[in-house]
Structure 1
Amino acid sequence: MISIIKTCFRGIYSCHWNSDNTRQKRSCCWFSFLSFVSILALSWMYVCFIAFNDHTDVNEHAFKKLEKWVDWYMIVMVISAMLATYCFLLLIFGLLHFAIREPLNLHWLHKVFLVLGLLTDTIGIAGFSKEWIEEWQTVYMSFQATAPFLHLGALVALTLISWLVFKSYHTSACKVFIMMTFLVVSTAVFLCPLAICSPCITSNLPPKPSLVGHRGAPMLAPENTMMSFRKSMECGVVAFETDVQISKDMKPFLMHDNGEKYLLRTTDVKKKFPGRDNSMHTNFTLEELKMLNAGEWFLRTDPFHSVSSLSEEEKREANNQTVPSLSELLVMAKKHNVSLIFDLKNENNSTGFHNSNSFYTTETIIKSGISPDKIWWLPREYRHNVRNISPGFKQVYNVVDEMNADGGSFLNMKYSSLSTRNISELRGKNVSVNLWVVNERWLFSLLWCSGASSVTTNACHIFKNMSKPDWHLEPKKYMGIWISADVISLLLMFGMFIWQRRKNHVSRQKEERGFPLLDR
C-alpha cells in the first residue's frame, strides 16, 4: 500500500513512476522556485480578492477603452485562483515527496507552467501598481481585518511544517543554521500580534454606519434609474447618491458617464439615435433622453451577477427604465424624507455661475420644495454662490483642510483616503464621515468598527441585514486567544521535536546493529 502511494505521488509530481535519485541538486532548486511561485500566486490571489470591492471601476474603465462590456475583473480572479490552487497543490505534493524521502524531480511540463505562472503574476502586480496604485491602500487596510486570522493560519502552517524541519535537523550537518532560521521565523509568528492594530479589537463598538445608495441600488436594478432608487429606499438608505448633468434644454438629468459616448454603456442610443452615440450631453434634450431605454443593458450584461435574483416582474420593470430627471428623484426624496448627495458632471466647462450646472441644479432643487437640510451639497465649484442662494443646504467636503477652513463638519471621501485612526479622531470631533464606495462585508465591518457615520454602497441589501460586524473582539479576549494558540503550537512543536529525536536515535541504534532501514 505504501509503495502504491509513493508511486502515485511520484507520478503526479514528476511523471517518473520508478524511483530516480539523479539530479537532486537541480531538483532542490526547482522546489525552491516552486515555493517562491506558490507564495507569489497566493499573495496575488489575496490582492485580487481584496480589491474586488472596486472591481466595477476596472470594468467601466475597460468599457471606455474597448466599447464592449466584459467582466474582465472576474476573468483575472478566476485565472489567479486557478494558478494559486495549482501551485499550492504542487507544493503540497513536493512536501509529501520530501516527507517520504522521494526524489524531487519536477516534470518539465510543471516547470513550464510555473514559469508562465511567474510571468502572469509579475505582469499582474506590475499592471496593478501602475494603473491602480491607490488600491494598495485597500490591501493595507485589509490586514486590519484579516491579520488575526492570518496569524492563526500561520501558526497552523508553522506547526504542520515543523516536523519536516525537525526531521531535517536530526539528519543534516547544518543543524545550527536550520534551527536558528526556524527559531527566528517562529518568534516572528508568535509575536506578530504585537504589531496587529485593528479597530475591531475594542471594548467600545460604535453605532452601525447609515447607508447611502450609490446610484440607487445598482446590484438590484439599473443604476441611476427610478427603480434603482426605489430599491435602495427599501434597504433603508438615509440618502440617494447620484450624478447630475444638464441637457441641451438646460434641464438636470441623472447619468454617471460623461463626455463623448456617455450614453453608450447604459442606454440603447445606438439603436434609437444612429450616428449620435458619440455626442456630448449638450446635444440631447431631456425629451430625447427620455426616449432611451436605460435598463436593457443591465439585464444583458448582468454587471454584478445579480439578475438571476430578480423576479420576472422585476426584470420586466428593469427593462422599461428610462433616463430620469433630477426633478423625478427630488419628488421621491421629498415624499420619503430621504436626503440627496450628488456629483455634478461637466461643471468645469461652464463660463460662470449662472451658466453652470450648479445654478440649474440649485434652481431645480428650490422649485421642488424639498427641505434644504435634505440636500448634502458636495460640488466644490461655486459652493459659496450656492450657499448664498440656499444657506440651508448641508455643505459636504472631500478635503479635510478645506472643511476646517470653511468651518464645516461633514466629510465625504473614498474609504481608503482616511486611516481607521483618522476616522475615529474625526468622529471624536463630531465630524460626520461618509465613505465611498463600500461593497464588501469585511470592509463595511472594518469601517463600522472605526466609527464611520455612513457609507455609500452598491450593496445596501446586504448591509441592511447586518446587526454586527463580521467579527469583533474585546482586547482581553483576543489576547487570550493569541496566547492560547501560541502555547498549543509551541507544545505540539516541542512534542514533535522530541518524537523526531527519539525516532532518529532508534534509527541510529538499528543502523549500528546492522538492521536495514526500510524507510530510507
Structure 2
Amino acid sequence: MPSHKKVEEESGCGRACFRGFYSCYWRHPGDRKRKHEGCWLSFVFLACLLTVCWMYICLVTFNDREDINWKGFAWLKQWVNWFMVVIIISTVLTFYCTLLLVFALFQIALKEPLDLHWLHKVVLFFGVVFIILAVIGITCMWSKEWPTVLLSLQATGPFLQMGAVVALTLLSWFVIQSVHTARRVGSKILMLLVFAIIVTAVYLSPLLIQHHTPCLIPPDQIPPKPELIGHRGAPMLAPENTMMSFVRSVACNVTAFETDVQISGDGVPFLMHDHHKGFLLRTTDTKHRFAGRDFNKSSELTWAELQHLNAGDWFLKADPFYTVSQLSAEEKEMARNQTIPSLLQLLHLAQENNISILFDLKNEEEVNDTNVTVDTILNSGIDPRLILWLPPTQRSNVMKNAPEFKQVYNNIFDMDKEGGSSLNLKYNSLNTTKLRELGQRNITVNLWVVNESWLFSLLWCTGVSSVTTNSCHRFQKMKQPDWTLEPTQYIMIWITVDLLSLLIISGLVIYKVQKKKKNKLTGSNQLELLPFLTNQ
C-alpha cells in the first residue's frame, strides 16, 4: 500500500507535466542514470538571464528602430521592418527560456530529477549563439547604441532594483533547497557565498542609483518641458519630408521643423533625407516613373522631374511606424498624393506659423549648395531669426551673409571656439551630468531623435531645452514625466523592500533549519524504537 501511494505521488498530473516539459519523461524515470544535472541547470539559468538582458536591450533600443531598418534598406533596397523581426524572435526565445527555468525550479521543489531533454539543449545552445552574435553585431556595426542602454538604466534603475530584490527573494527558497541537498560542504559554502554576495550587491545598489537617476527629484524642481522639433515633420502621421507631414507637426505645437535639403540640377532646393546611390528609391516611385534609370545624386534631376514623383504612396505600403491604421480615409488619400516639396514651400509654412527651421545640407561640401540655400531663404521673406543654421562647412561665410541666422553646433568644442550658445546632438552622445552642466551655462541643447516616452521623460528631468522627435503627437499630450519621486521617499521604499526581503529569506532559512532538526530527531526516535519493533 505505501509503495502504491508513492507511485501515485510520483505520477501525479502536476509532476508529470513538469517532468514531461523539462525531460520529456511522462513517467518517473526511476533510477535511470542522469549526467551533469547541475551543469545543465546552470546553463538553463544562464540562457534565461542572457535572453532577459537581451530582451531589455531590444526594448530600450526600440527608440532607434528606424536606423536598423534604414540600414537594411541600404543593403537590400527593400523595406522590411527588420527590428520588429528581431523583437519577435527575442520575445519567443525569452519566453521559452524563462518557462524552462520555471519548470526546472518546480522540479527542484518537487524533488524530481533534472534530466534536461536533448531538444531543449539544442534550442538553448542556438539561442545563446544568437544572442552572442547579436551583441557582437551591435558592438561592431552599431556601437553608438550602447550609451542608450546606460541611459535606460538611469531611467529604470529603481524599478530594476526592486524587481531584482523580488526575484532573489523568490529564488532564495530554491537556493536553500539546493544547499540542503548538496552533499559536499564546499559546495554548500560556495552556493551560500555567491548568493550572499549577489543579494548584498542588489540590496545596496540604490546607493549608486540615487545619485545617477535624474527623475529622483522633488516635484517643485522638475525642469520645464522640452520643446518639440518635428523630425521631417510628423513621420508617424504622414510621409516624411512632405508638406502633409509638416502641417501635421504644426498641430503638435512644434517650435521648429527639422528637415534635409538637397539641390536639383537646375538649382532648386528641395526636401529629401536619403542621398547618394539610389537616394529616391525608399520614399518615391522612381522605379516606375523612371524605369531603367538609376539616380545617384540630386543634381541628376531637374525640379520639374522631381515634382512628377510620388512621395507618399510608399508610406501607406511600408507603414514604417505601424500607424497607417490610425489615419482616416481622407488622410490616407492625402498621404497617397504627396509630392516632394521645395524648401521655399516649407519656408512659407514656417513664416505663417512662426516656426523655426533646422536642417542638414546633404551635399554641404558643394559650395554652391550653401549659397543657393542661403539665397532662397533670404529671398523668401521669412524672418531670418527663425533659421537655425546647422551645416558647419561654410559657417563663416553664412555668418557674414546672413548674420541674423541662429548658429547651431554639433559639438561643444566648435561652439565654445566661436562663442555660440546652441547645440544639436544625438541624444546619447552626452551623459545626464554633462547635460545638466550645459544647462547651468545657459546653453540651448537640442537632442535627436527621441521617440519613446521613457527617454523623453529622462531628458525632461535632466533639463534639456528641446528634442527632435517622430512622436510629437504623443509628447504633446504629456503633462509631466512618466515618473518622478522625491529622494527621501525613494530611500524609504528602498529600505522597506530590502528589509521585507531579508525577513522572508531569514524566515525561510530558519524554517529549513528547524525542519532539518525535526527530521533528524524523528529519525533518531525511529532508530530507538527499531529493536522494540523487531522483538514484537
TM-score normalized with structure 1 length: 0.96
Decide whether aligned partners of structure 1 residues 373 and 205 sit closer, same or farther in structure 2, where only a CA change above 3 A counts.
Answer: same
Counterpart position of 2:76: 66
Counterpart position of 1:4: 13
Counterpart position of 2:273: 256
Note if 1:414 corresponds to 2:426: yes
- For structure 2, the residue ranges without an aligned partner over 5 or more in a row are 1-7, 528-536
Note if 1:465 corresponds to 2:469: no
* Matches for 1:54-93 after TM superposition, within 5 Å: 54-93=64-103
Note if 1:186 corresponds to 2:199: yes
Determine if contact 1:413/1:436 at 8 Å carries over to the other structure.
Answer: yes
Q: Give the whole-Å Cα distance in 2 for the aligned partners of 1:428 and 1:23.
A: 68
Note if 1:150 corresponds to 2:165: no
Decide whether aligned partners of structure 1 residues 119 and 103 sit closer, same or farther in structure 2, where only a CA change above 3 A counts.
Answer: same
One-letter amino acid of the structure 2 residue matched with residue 405 of structure 1: K
Counterpart position of 2:189: 176
Q: Give the whole-Å Cα distance in 2 for the aligned partners of 1:168 and 1:392.
A: 73
Determine if contact 1:263/1:277 at 8 Å carries over to the other structure.
Answer: no
Displacement, 1:40? 1.0
One-letter amino acid of the structure 2 residue matched with residue 329 of structure 1: L
* Matches for 1:99-114 after TM superposition, within 5 Å: 99-114=109-124
One-letter amino acid of the structure 1 residue matched with residue 95 of structure 2: T
Of the candidates 298, 307, 312, which is equivalent to residue 290 of structure 1?
307
Q: Deviations over 1:296-347 (max 9, x none)?
A: 0000000001000000000000000000000000000000000000000112
One-letter amino acid of the structure 1 residue matched with residue 21 of structure 2: I
Q: Secondary structure at the match of 1:514?
A: helix
Counterpart position of 2:24: 15
Q: Secondary structure at the match of 1:248?
A: coil
Determine if contact 1:213/1:241 at 8 Å carries over to the other structure.
Answer: yes
Displacement, 1:188? 0.7
Counterpart position of 1:210: 227
Displacement, 1:201? 1.0
Displacement, 1:171? 4.2
Q: Deviations over 1:89-110 (max 9, x none)?
A: 0011001101111000011111
Q: Give the whole-Å Cα distance in 2 for the aligned partners of 1:301 and 1:283.
A: 26
Q: Give the whole-Å Cα distance in 1 for the aligned partners of 2:523 and 2:20.
A: 30
Displacement, 1:271? 1.1
Of the candidates 491, 495, 499, which is equivalent to residue 503 of structure 2?
491
Q: Give the whole-Å Cα distance in 2 for the aligned partners of 1:447 and 1:119.
A: 35
One-letter amino acid of the structure 2 residue matched with residue 127 of structure 1: G
Q: Give the whole-Å Cα distance in 2 for the aligned partners of 1:56 and 1:180.
A: 45
One-letter amino acid of the structure 2 residue matched with residue 200 of structure 1: C
Q: Secondary structure at the match of 2:260?
A: strand
Determine if contact 1:200/1:472 at 8 Å carries over to the other structure.
Answer: yes
Q: Deviations over 1:101-139 (max 9, x none)?
A: 100001111111111111111111111111101101111
One-letter amino acid of the structure 2 residue matched with residue 427 of structure 1: G
Counterpart position of 2:238: 221
Displacement, 1:417? 0.6
Determine if contact 1:200/1:446 at 8 Å carries over to the other structure.
Answer: yes
Q: Secondary structure at the match of 1:438?
A: coil
Q: Deviations over 1:420-440 (max 9, x none)?
A: 011111010000000000001
Q: Secondary structure at the match of 1:340?
A: strand
Of the candidates 434, 440, 446, which is equivalent to residue 452 of structure 2?
440
Displacement, 1:146? 1.0
Counterpart position of 1:392: 404
Q: Give the whole-Å Cα distance in 2 for the aligned partners of 1:36 and 1:168.
A: 17
Counterpart position of 1:518: none
Displacement, 1:506? 2.1
Determine if contact 1:272/1:292 at 8 Å carries over to the other structure.
Answer: yes
Q: Secondary structure at the match of 2:294?
A: coil
Counterpart position of 2:386: 374
Note if 1:198 corresponds to 2:213: yes
Counterpart position of 2:60: 50
Counterpart position of 2:172: 162
Q: Secondary structure at the match of 2:403?
A: coil
Q: Secondary structure at the match of 1:134?
A: helix
Q: Give the whole-Å Cα distance in 2 for the aligned partners of 1:4 and 1:155.
A: 32
Note if 1:33 corresponds to 2:46: no
Q: Give the whole-Å Cα distance in 1 for the aligned partners of 2:51 and 2:100.
A: 12
Displacement, 1:294? 0.2
* Matches for 1:259-270 after TM superposition, within 5 Å: 259-270=276-287
Q: Give the whole-Å Cα distance in 1 for the aligned partners of 2:162 and 2:14.
A: 31
One-letter amino acid of the structure 1 residue matched with residue 137 of structure 2: G
Note if 1:481 corresponds to 2:493: yes
Decide whether aligned partners of structure 1 residues 428 and 9 sit closer, same or farther in structure 2, where only a CA change above 3 A counts.
Answer: same
- More off after superposition, 460-469 vs 18-27: 18-27
- More off after superposition, 182-191 vs 407-416: 182-191
One-letter amino acid of the structure 1 residue matched with residue 101 of structure 2: L
Q: Deviations over 1:449-482 (max 9, x none)?
A: 1111000000001111111111111111111111
One-letter amino acid of the structure 2 residue matched with residue 163 of structure 1: W
* Matches for 1:131-146 after TM superposition, within 5 Å: 131-146=141-156
Quote the RMSD (CA, aligned, Å).
1.3
Q: Give the whole-Å Cα distance in 1 for the aligned partners of 2:149 and 2:125.
A: 26
Counterpart position of 2:441: 429
Displacement, 1:145? 0.6
Determine if contact 1:327/1:365 at 8 Å carries over to the other structure.
Answer: yes
Q: Secondary structure at the match of 1:412?
A: strand
Of the candidates 326, 332, 338, which is equivalent to residue 321 of structure 1?
338
Decide whether aligned partners of structure 1 residues 166 and 113 sit closer, same or farther in structure 2, where only a CA change above 3 A counts.
Answer: same
- More off after superposition, 196-205 vs 357-366: 196-205
- For structure 1, the residue ranges without an aligned partner over 5 or more in a row are 516-520
The structure with the larger Rg is 2
Determine if contact 2:275/2:296 at 8 Å carries over to the other structure.
Answer: no
Q: Give the whole-Å Cα distance in 2 for the aligned partners of 1:151 and 1:67.
A: 43
Determine if contact 1:264/1:277 at 8 Å carries over to the other structure.
Answer: no
Displacement, 1:180? 2.3
Displacement, 1:25? 4.2
Counterpart position of 1:96: 106
Q: Give the whole-Å Cα distance in 2 for the aligned partners of 1:171 and 1:68.
A: 57
Of the candidates 292, 297, 300, which is equivalent to residue 275 of structure 1?
292
One-letter amino acid of the structure 2 residue matched with residue 45 of structure 1: M
Displacement, 1:5? 1.0
One-letter amino acid of the structure 1 residue matched with residue 268 of structure 2: K
Of the candidates 134, 139, 148, which is equivalent to residue 124 of structure 1?
134
Determine if contact 1:214/1:457 at 8 Å carries over to the other structure.
Answer: yes
TM-score normalized with structure 2 length: 0.93
Identity of aligned residues (%): 51
Displacement, 1:387? 0.8
Counterpart position of 1:335: 352
Displacement, 1:279? 4.0
